[in-house]
Amino acid sequence: MRAPPEEGPVLACEGLCVSYFTRAGEIPAVVDFDLRIAPGEAVGLVGESGCGKSTVALAIMRYLGRAGRIVAGRIRFRGRDLVPLGERELRRIRGARIGMIYQEPMASLNPSMKIGAQLLEVPLCHRNLRRGEARERALEMLARVGLPDTRRIFGSYPHQLSGGQQQRVVIAMALLADPDLLLLDEPTTALDVTIEAGILDLVGDISARFGTALLYISHNLGLIRRTCDRVAVMYAGEVVEEGGVEEVFGAMRHPYTQGLFDAVPLPGSDRATRPLRPIPGRLPLPQERPRGCVFGPRCAHFRAGICDRRQRMEALTGGRLQRVRCARHGEIRRPPRGRSTGPPEAREPGAVMLEVRGLDKEYAVGDGPFTLFTGDGRRRIRANRKLDLLAREGETLAIVGESGCGKSTFAKVLVGLEPATAGRIRFEGREVAAAPVEKRERELVARLQMIFQNPFETLNPSLTVGAQIARVVRKFGLARGREEVRRRVFELLELVKLPREFFWRRPRQLSGGQKQRIGIARAFAGDPKLVVADEPVSALDVSVQAAVVELLTDIQRRRRTTLLFISHDLSLVRYLADRVVVMYLGRIVEQGTAEAVFTPPYHPYTEALLSAVPVADPAVVTRRIILEGELPSALEPPSGCPFHTRCPRKAGALCEEREPPEQRFGADHRIACHLPAEELARGATVFRDAGLPGFP
Amino acid sequence: MLRLAARRFGAMILIMAVVSFILFLIFETDKLAVAGKVLGPYSSLEQRELWLEREGYNRPFLVRYGEWVTDALRGDFGESIRFKAPVADLLWPRLANSAILAGLVFLLMIPLSLLLGVLAGMREGSLLDRGLSFLSILTTSVPEFASAAFLVALFVFELRWLPGTSAMTGGFDWSQLVLPVAVLVLYDFGYVARMTRASMAEVMTSHYIRTAILKGLPRHRVVLRHALRNALIAPFTVIVLQLNWLLSGVIVVEVFFAYKGFGALLYDAAMFGDIYLIEACTMVAVFVAVFSQFVSDVGYTLLNPRIRFAGSTVR
Amino acid sequence: MRRLRAPGPGEAASAATALRRALGSLRESPLAITGAAILAFWLAMAVLAPVLPLADPNLPLEPLRPPLSVGADGSTTFWLGTDIKGRDVLSRLIWGARRVLVWAGLATLAAYLVGIAMGLVAGYRGGWWDEALSFLANLLLSFPVMVLYIVVITRIGASPINIVLAVTFASAPAIMRIVRGLVLDLKTRDYVLAARTRGEGALWIMFVELLPNARGPLIVDACLRMGYTTIALATLGFLGLGLPPPDPDWGAMIAETQPMGAFAGHAMLFPALAVSSLVLGFNLLADGLREISLRD
């Protein structure tokens, strides 16, 4: 069925340059790009937003829109240059020999065509199959990508599937023509981490079985390490370093790659031993790129005379495949990283600031009471069920969980944006569960503040930065009179390390990280005792993320503020949290000190969640647990233990019938599970030190 | 799906009921004025009161309203003051005439605007696209009575090809329909074409079209199988709702060309103060508008599997 | 009422730069420029009507003179001819522009005030407020526009104020729907939640956090709606339901001439051109503004 393996690489990009032509003129997106992919090989392309990695994939597909153009170089696919090909010839390659998987599975499927019809097109168009045969093949492929009940899925519409199922359909569609190369553009970024793990495994299996070459495009270093043999790191349109994944991630030579690693939290290291280090400065706009080394302006190792010349890729000596675009790579050595030596310094627990008891939150989806004119019917979601938790002064309490677990709803209830349905919330001894924020006293409002997720929405685009912070200062009655208010605003800008000029700036002149800083300044204006931060950095690039996290925790520690940090990023939570609460479908399944939650005994869900996190550090070995099945809908949660539908350690019928009891392990560690305590305690740790030479 | 249709139907009935009540309130609260209209301006107060008593106007308002509604539902809208004939007998032939006009307009406008809109939307920024864009702005800027004036000046006064009125006094005449239809098509097609263009252009830049192209499908298949169906959902609702606009245009055009249609009847009734006729015509006009809204809502649901199968998930 | 914003010293300057930027971006769209030029022309005519050397628009001079003809006194020129009653068409056009711009402007403004208030409350408050206001809007929108005008105006009479009222009835529900849709989208933005978490009241949120950020689509819609209102006023004039005679009205000018059109084509065509060009100006500007707003 498959052509015998041919000589040479599947894909070879040689000196590829891609530019977009806009009203502002030519904008180079990819410069002097070289890449070879051997048959069956998996290569990763990693970099932050704006580095040109997606443009590479679209250029290979020759789909750059009307503004984009390949201005130089060649793209050889099986030895044949794709650049001069016309539409008709491209059609024989697209979808047939090169398949593509996209970031948003929902958007990539036609909403008004059944899955089956969309699948059938591929074999009908690329191989002269009869309809019946094509149908057989499509159904077979659906089964092969691990979808249940293939006939039903064949006859349904995309919106009837979950995100993970949709992505499996897209993968099946790409595989139907038996391609030589798959391009995966952030294939799991829109999915939850436990779903992601299943998809990555599937792609790996398929590639191994059919010898399909893979090009992974991602911002996630851990994902690249988990899936790829080789990696190319991109920055500002150029590849700055490439080589084997273990090589590059184990001993990176380019200062940018080093910067990326120093900016992400890794398991096995924490705040004390290895604080996150952001990359200074920001990505230059394409028209402002320096003439010499593109990373020069942000690089600590910049030397005039060497680095202000155009840099070329140079191979490392000593039999390695690694290549670096840095003239000083021979001189720069990465300082050895610190490694956790034991439990982090225990800090004095403060007074209880927040006490949540039996909190329930239900809300209706749909609309108003009289639904004739505005829309459709309503259903009730129990977003939070019987939440019990404590937070102490000066402590960072992290709430982790996947989408639909109710963590953001809890944040909204806490700050009074939504009223609680039942239960109590005591904040500084006052009952606030029933009080919407509009009914809370000014002083209480100032002491319980929130930082929001989306940097692009956190500021009112119509007002200047100064006006927005000044409004908070006035509103909380912290200062009167123009001069005094302005002085307070300047102090707050200083607190978040922004210059005074930002007072007169408009939100659209700010970068994402700067907007989040303003959000922090706003939240800390009234000297709050508790700050809720709902995914405050998840929309930011890693280098910016590090800076914002460091700033936030620094302010919080100095002021002994309680921080409620809501996140889906377990590495980050591990890095900064004192205590952790794990939620699943509206309930708390495990809580305790960070140390206790991240080591055995685990709740089976926490265990799977930890194992699903791809880790970039080659020194860490992860035990794999892949969850079967899909995340149940919050509208119809399973009976008994909410996790029983996916639990790999399910105890039996009991799990379906009864809600699990809360079991205590130690002073501050609770797990809600039917498994006996000794059984839970028997689990092994998820992360293990690989003990690679060269790492302490 | 059925639930949605039923709910929309309920909303339609409710709107009709409230509109009828408001109309009755507006026109028949002042009983003496009604009598004055019916008996003429020179009737005496006693005559008017006698008439009110005989016609049952002195009963409570709600009773009168209930009776009016039941009669209307049976097709009895009372007698026209001006024409001295049952309103229903006047109404139906006039409605048929307007239906001919509107039907011809739709017959020409829909294929024209859809075709142009789809072609322009497929190639955003092309010469055709910009040409259509300008043409449709131009034609939607010319009100019906103005374009009627232009067309009459050209085809009636200058070229003498067509008649300038459409009263059809000498029997049905196709040539008399040309100008009214042309005026309405000119004014309405631009809007639909622009909506179609925008919808098509949006679909063509969507990710699923990218998927279809990168699957290696031929262009005609991408356009016909993947783009068209999604791109025509929005124009469908616009076209159905266009009926509401068309009714307004129909009034102007029928008055301009003296065409004996429903719009001209409503206009004459309003100018004369022919209360029962105004009530009946308005109810019919509102019914057409509300019903087209209903059709558009239900049709949108039928065309859009995301709404049609909302809630039924494969899990 | 509370003071809604505290303007800082930078505010005035930034408003000026915003205006300059808006004009600058206008320059990039030839459509918008053309539209703005047409509008500027009519606006100038409307403002200058009293000082221009025009004949009295209501004074009968010599009937049915063709364009560019010279009057019997040998000194007056009828640039656009005279109508069937012998009145100067050019003068009537220019005075008519003044009238239509004033009343269309006022009517659109009134419709916007009502529509924005309804839309803000319905969208932000939701629940029963939304149900009630949406029902009201649906009720008014279930009348074909011209039917609504005819019913309202034959009932309350054709005075300028009543026409403003009728336009408000017809336009406010559509504006309400647009505002409501924008508010439903904007009110889930984090900055609105941030305003709520610092305890801002509903008025502040509606007028500072929501309305200013909905301005883009609303400005485009306002341009279009000025066009619609112009058409509506002229059509009412044509149907004899418009602003009362004898003051010039573009629609009425066409209606008056129509029966004798064969002899006075110019008296029908010039007002038709005038109203079309004015509406075209609004539509071109709206299209250009939309294009510019999509570009940024």
Residue with the bigger pLDDT between C68 and C97: it is C97
pLDDT at C19: 63
Question: Could you write out the DSSP letters of every residue in B103-172?
Answer: HHHHHHHHHHHHHHHHHHHHTTTSHHHHHHHHHHHHHHHS-HHHHHHHHIIIIIIIS--S-S----TTS-
Instruction: Kindly state the average pLDDT of the residues A247-266.
Output: 88
Q: How confident is the model at residue A3 (pLDDT cuts 50, 70, 90)?
A: very low
Domain membership of residue C4 (yes or no) is no
- Return d(Cα A389, Cα A427) in angstroms, integer: 12
pLDDT at A690: 61
Q: What contacts 24+ positions apart, CB below 8 Å, involve A115-120? A: A115/A153, A115/A154, A115/A155, A115/A156, A115/A157, A115/A158, A115/A161, A115/A169, A116/A154, A116/A155, A118/A169, A118/A173, A119/A154, A119/A169, A119/A172, A119/A173, A119/A176
CA B267 remoteness from chain centre: 15
Residue B116 contacts residue B194 (beta carbons within 8 Å):
no
- Close Cβ partners of A589 (under 8 Å, ≥ 6 residues apart): A582, A583, A603, A605, A606, A642, A643, A671, A672, A673
pLDDT for C22 beyond 70: no
pLDDT for B128 beyond 50: yes
- Return d(Cα A125, Cα A494) in angstroms, integer: 62
- Return d(Cα B157, Cα B149) in angstroms, integer: 10
CA-based nearest residue in chain A for residue B232: A112
Of the ranges A47-56, A257-266, B233-242, C110-119, the best mean pLDDT one: C110-119
Q: Which position has the token pair 């399909």?
A: A212
A470 touches chain C (CB under 8 A): yes
Domain membership of residue C160 (yes or no) is yes
Q: How confident is the model at residue A375 (pLDDT cuts 50, 70, 90)?
A: very low
pLDDT for A371 beyond 60: no
- Close Cβ partners of C43 (under 8 Å, ≥ 6 residues apart): C101
Rg (CA), chain B: 24
Q: How confident is the model at residue A14 (pLDDT cuts 50, 70, 90)?
A: very high
The pair of three-digit structure tokens given for residue B18, joined into one six-digit string: 């409230």
Give the distance from residue A367's alpha carbon to the nearest chain C alpha carbon, in angstroms.
8
Q: How confident is the model at residue A333 (pLDDT cuts 50, 70, 90)?
A: confident
pLDDT for B312 beyond 90: no
pLDDT at A369: 39
Q: How confident is the model at residue A591 (pLDDT cuts 50, 70, 90)?
A: very high
Residue numbers of C between 136 and 155 with CB closer than 8 Å to A? 138
- Return d(Cα A691, Cα B80) in angstroms, integer: 99
Nearest to C200 by CA among A85, B110, B134, A471: A471
- Return d(Cα C82, Cα B258) in angstroms, integer: 26
pLDDT for C2 beyond 50: no
A394: left (phi over 0), alpha (psi -120 to 50) or beta: left
pLDDT at C3: 35
Length of chain B: 315
Average pLDDT, chain C: 84
Chain B residues touching residue C142 (CB < 8 angstroms): 15, 19, 286, 289-290, 293
Q: How confident is the model at residue A366 (pLDDT cuts 50, 70, 90)?
A: low
pLDDT at A452: 93
pLDDT at A347: 62
Q: How confident is the model at residue A376 (pLDDT cuts 50, 70, 90)?
A: very low
Chain B residues touching residue A102 (CB < 8 angstroms): 207, 210-211
- Return d(Cα A234, Cα A257) in angstroms, integer: 9
Domain range holding C14? 9-295
pLDDT for C11 beyond 80: no
B125 touches chain C (CB under 8 A): no
Chain B residues touching residue A107 (CB < 8 angstroms): 206-208
- Return d(Cα B267, Cα B289) in angstroms, integer: 17
The pair of three-digit structure tokens given for residue B118, joined into one six-digit string: 């789809």
Tell whether omega for the bond before C248 is within 30 degrees of 0, i.e. cis: no
pLDDT for A367 beyond 50: no
Residue A260 contacts residue A224 (beta carbons within 8 Å):
no
Nearest to A253 by CA among A321, A339, A340, A309: A321
Domain membership of residue C59 (yes or no) is yes
pLDDT at A7: 64
Q: Using the CB atoms, write b or e for C241-279: b if 16+ within 10 Å.
A: bbbeeeebbbbbbbbbbbeebeebbbbbbbbbbbbbbbb
Give the distance from residue C143's alpha carbon to the nearest chain B alpha carbon, in angstroms.
5
Domain membership of residue C3 (yes or no) is no
CB contact under 8 Å between B271 and C240, yes or no, is: yes
pLDDT at A327: 83
Residue A592 contacts residue A668 (beta carbons within 8 Å):
yes
Is this complex's ipTM strictly greater than 0.95? no
Chain B residues touching residue C231 (CB < 8 angstroms): 143
Domain membership of residue C131 (yes or no) is yes
Domain membership of residue C2 (yes or no) is no
Domains held by chain C: number: 1
**Closest to C147 (Cβ–Cβ): which among B145, B146, B247?**
B247
CB contact under 8 Å between A94 and B213, yes or no, is: yes
A450 touches chain C (CB under 8 A): yes
Residue C232 contacts residue C242 (beta carbons within 8 Å):
no
Q: Which position has the token pair 């639930």?
A: B3
Largest interatomic CA distance in chain A: 81
Instruction: Kindly state the average pLDDT of the residues A19-39.
Output: 90
Domain of C238, CATH number, reads: 1.10.3720.10
Of the ranges A434-448, A588-602, C109-123, the best mean pLDDT one: C109-123
pLDDT tens digits, C105-135: 999 999 999 999 999 999 999 888 998 999 9
Instruction: Kindly state the average pLDDT of the residues A371-400.
Output: 79
pLDDT at A342: 52
Q: How confident is the model at residue A316 (pLDDT cuts 50, 70, 90)?
A: confident
CB contact under 8 Å between B214 and A165, yes or no, is: no
- Return d(Cα B144, Cα A540) in angstroms, integer: 54
pLDDT at A341: 52
pLDDT at A478: 87
Give the distance from residue A247's alpha carbon to the nearest chain B alpha carbon, in angstroms.
34
Q: How confident is the model at residue A378 (pLDDT cuts 50, 70, 90)?
A: low
Tell whether omega for the bond before A419 is within 30 degrees of 0, i.e. cis: no
pLDDT at A694: 34
Domain membership of residue C47 (yes or no) is yes
Nearest to A99 by CA among A201, A48, A169, A165: A169
- Close Cβ partners of A297 (under 8 Å, ≥ 6 residues apart): A281, A284, A290
CA angle A345, A350, A353 (to 5 degrees): 130
CA-based nearest residue in chain C for residue A448: C197
pLDDT for A460 beyond 70: yes
Rg (CA), chain C: 23
φ, ψ of residue A454 to 5 degrees: the values are: -90, 110
- Return d(Cα A229, Cα A224) in angstroms, integer: 9
Nearest to B130 by CA among B194, B179, B67, B187: B194
- Return d(Cα A636, Cα A382) in angstroms, integer: 9
Q: Which of A29-43, A438-452, C7-21, C152-166 has the lowest mean pLDDT?
A: C7-21
CA C255 remoteness from chain centre: 22
Average pLDDT, chain B: 87
**Closest to B289 (Cβ–Cβ): which among C143, C238, C271?**
C143
pLDDT at C9: 38
Cβ count within 10 A of residue B3: 9
Question: Could you write out the DSSP letters of every residue in chain C?
Answer: --------HHHHHHHHHHHHHHHHHHHT-HHHHHHHHHHHHHHHHHHHTTTS----TT---STTPPTTEEPTTSS-EETT-B-TT--BHHHHHHHHHHHHHHHHHHHHHHHHHHHHHHHHHHHHH-HHHHHHHHHHHHHHHTS-HHHHHHHHHHHH---HHHHHHHHHHHHHHHHHHHHHHHHHHHTTSHHHHHHHHTT--HHHIIIIIIGGGGHHHHHHHHHHHHHHHHHHHHHHHHTT-SSPSSS--HHHHHHHHGGGTTT-HHHHHHHHHHHHHHHHHHHHHHHHHHHHHHH-
Q: Which of A340-349, A607-616, C55-64 has the lowest mean pLDDT?
A: A340-349
- Return d(Cα A278, Cα A261) in angstroms, integer: 10
- Return d(Cα C8, Cα A93) in angstroms, integer: 61
- Return d(Cα C137, Cα A192) in angstroms, integer: 42
Q: How confident is the model at residue A377 (pLDDT cuts 50, 70, 90)?
A: low
pLDDT tens digits, C158-185: 888 888 999 999 999 999 999 999 999 9
Residue with the bigger pLDDT between C210 and A191: it is C210
pLDDT at A83: 92
Q: Which of A262-271, B250-259, C247-256 has the lowest mean pLDDT?
A: A262-271
What is the DSSP secondary structure assignment for residue A382, as one 8-state letter? E
Nearest to C51 by CA among C95, C10, C1, C6: C95
Instruction: Kindly state the average pLDDT of the residues A626-644.
Output: 84
pLDDT tens digits, A674-686: 998 888 887 778 8
Chain A residues touching residue B233 (CB < 8 angstroms): 112
pLDDT tens digits, C222-231: 999 999 999 9
Percent of chain B with pLDDT over 90: 40
